[in-house]
Amino acid sequence: MSVHITEFLGELALLLESGIACRDALKIVQQEQDNRGMQKLIAAILNDVEKGMSLADSFAQYPDYFEPFLVERLVSSGKDEANQTASLVKIAQYRESMDVDAQNLTKRIAFSSLYIFFLLFVLLILTTFLLIYVVPVFADMFRSFGGSLPTLTQWVLNLSDFFVANGLLIMGGVFVLGWLVRIKWQIVTLYIPLIGRLYHKIALIRGLRTCAFMLSEGASVAKAFSAAAQIVHNPIYAKRFNQVSEQVAEGMPLSDALQAHSIFPKKMVHAAVVGTQANKLDKLLAKLADLYAKQLQQATGPIIRSYTLLMIILIGIIAGMLILSMYLPIFMMGGEI
């Protein structure tokens, strides 16, 4: 839906820039919409405008579609149509950049992460199946032979007995763990080796782009960081951006506020120092977001390939160990004959 909202704002801004009245522009955009949800939303906005409500006030009624801080920027542009249109154009451009990041970076990394977890799931299912259904067949045969078994074989048999005896408990534990990971996914992702770096960068990019946009629109640093907290989609980063916002509002220099939180990189602190002194904070934060986006694109492929290779190797090692443990006693018996 986010992409549809961005397209709607861009098309509406273009029509308003062309001198078309707001009501007529809304009607044109509505007629060209294929998405039913968007058609209903635009119809509701059009109805509000026809009743005399401003575009910004109408947007404010739909916070699930239009972020409050963006509506606030539209309101702050005043009642002059030219200023409102210019502000709407900037909002559309901001959302386009965020959607590009989401499409090229966030979705790609999320899909890759799911693929890795799928491989991990396959590994778990394969191991469980072998230990519960395959190993016990060999175990009965080995016990009928009598005598001592190789250490690896005995260890696998003990593990198999444990899985058979506690299978339901293990599966229940896996289910609960999966549920906990799911509800805490945004936090968990930050601590996954290597992949965590990617999710750190994603949150920073979203926050930096939002701060840069808000500052370019004339918002205070405190409001810019407060807006970033709404858009980073990560509770840890949202908390830190809000804390920086509060500290700056209390009079602390931005660089000191950022330095107080280790989650923010030194480049961001340096950008805050230089940007504040040169009165170009919005431009430096935007450039820093572009830099992180470029680094993220370059790092994603190698990290995902490394994890995929690791999962495949683990599957091979575990399957190989289980198979070897089952055939070791047979080889030993063959050697004794």
Report the mean per-residue pLDDT for the chain: 84
Q: Which tokens belong to 242?
A: 């809000």
**pTM as predicted:** 0.75
DSSP-assigned letter for residue 220: -
pLDDT tens, position by position, 86-107:
888 888 888 888 877 766 666 7
Angle between helices 22-31 and 36-50 (to 10 degrees): 160
pLDDT tens, position by position, 214-236:
998 888 999 999 999 998 888 99
pLDDT tens, position by position, 180-216:
767 777 777 788 888 888 889 989 999 999 999 999 8
Indicate if the pLDDT at residue 256 is higher than 90.
Answer: yes
Residue 116's alpha-carbon distances to 62, 68, 246, 311, 321, in angstroms, are 37, 36, 39, 7, 22
Spell out the domain ranges in the chain: 2-96, 97-337
Let me know if the fold of 2-96 is the same as that of 97-337. Answer: yes
Over pLDDT 90: what percentage of the chain? 23
* Cα–Cα distance, 263 to 200 (Å, whole number): 9
Fold of 97-337: Receptor-associated Protein (1.20.81)
Yes or no: is domain 2-96 CATH 1.20.81.30? yes
- 3 state SS of 193: coil
